Amino acid sequence: MTFTRLHISVFLGIAVLAWTAVLYMQGVQLTWAEICVHLAPFSSVVGVLVTLALLLEHLAWPLPVLHGWFVKRPDLRGTWHVSLQSDWFDPDTNSRIPPITCYMGVKQTLSTLQMHLMTPESDSWFIADQILPSPSAEGYQVVGVYTNNPNIHLRGVRSEMHRGALVFDSHGPPNRPDSLTGEYWTDRKTSGSMVLGARRQKLYTLFSDAEAAFGVDAGN
């Protein structure tokens, strides 16, 4: 949830009312004229708070100096190299398919997260997410529900639209992890594992662009 000017105005208004009530209970008598004088900067204060909220939401939240005490959220932005191992058996070979190289684009602010998995044949997008402290007290867990959209030419042939859920654990510096490892499950009764390793700062939205950006050094 992103705080808007309306939210901040309401919170500040409640704070002013509470402050006034406490002063009244302490015996401080304020005339209406004095109250109006003190409320004159209200709009300017709201403007300052809105500006600070926007800066924190979009720019300041990843700063290491804020992490841990003011912001508890890992910086996952960019495009990750992914090794995906599914438990799905290919009916043509009657064997488990080999690991798939794919890419995960992550767009993030303080209050929002969108993870986009790009494979040669489909795209998956988060439709719900939550970032939690890791049970190990080191790093974070990313929990998500996603929807998968296969290439239209594959639907009805060997792949259909489906939904799934996944859980990632972060590794490395808590504020900017080096890697993510996790598992996923789908409503097609398949499951698997994913390892997110190398990362590029630029956000890619096409598999071909991400593949070209990583090139032969994808593991570095």
- Res. 99 pLDDT band, cuts 50 70 90: very high
- Predicted pLDDT at 140: 97
- Predicted pLDDT at 194: 97
pLDDT surpasses 90 at 16: no
Domains and CATH numbers, the chain: 5-60 (no CATH), 78-217 (2.40.128)
Q: Please give the model's pTM, rounded to 2 decimal places.
A: 0.85
Radius of gyration of the chain (CA): 24
Determine the Cα–Cα distance for residues 60 and 154; give it in Å rounded to an integer: 43
pLDDT in tens, 20-51: 888 888 888 778 788 788 778 888 888 998 99
Q: What is the DSSP letter of 97?
A: P
pLDDT in tens, 106-133: 999 999 999 999 999 999 999 999 999 9
- Res. 216 pLDDT band, cuts 50 70 90: low
- Predicted pLDDT at 123: 96
Other C-beta atoms closer than 10 Å to the C-beta of 30 total: 12
- Res. 219 pLDDT band, cuts 50 70 90: very low
Per the CB < 8 A criterion, the answer to whether 116 and 82 are in contact is no
Give CA separation, 197 vs 54, 76, 107, 141, in Å: 31, 12, 17, 16
Let me know if 204 is exposed, middle or buried by CB neighbors in 10 A (0-12, 13-18, 19+).
Answer: buried
Provide mean pLDDT across the span 147-169: 87
**What is the bridge-based pairing of β-strands 89-90 and 95-96?**
antiparallel
Per the CB < 8 A criterion, the answer to whether 76 and 108 are in contact is yes
Provide mean pLDDT across the span 142-154: 91
Helices 5-25 and 42-55: crossing angle in degrees, nearest 10, is: 130
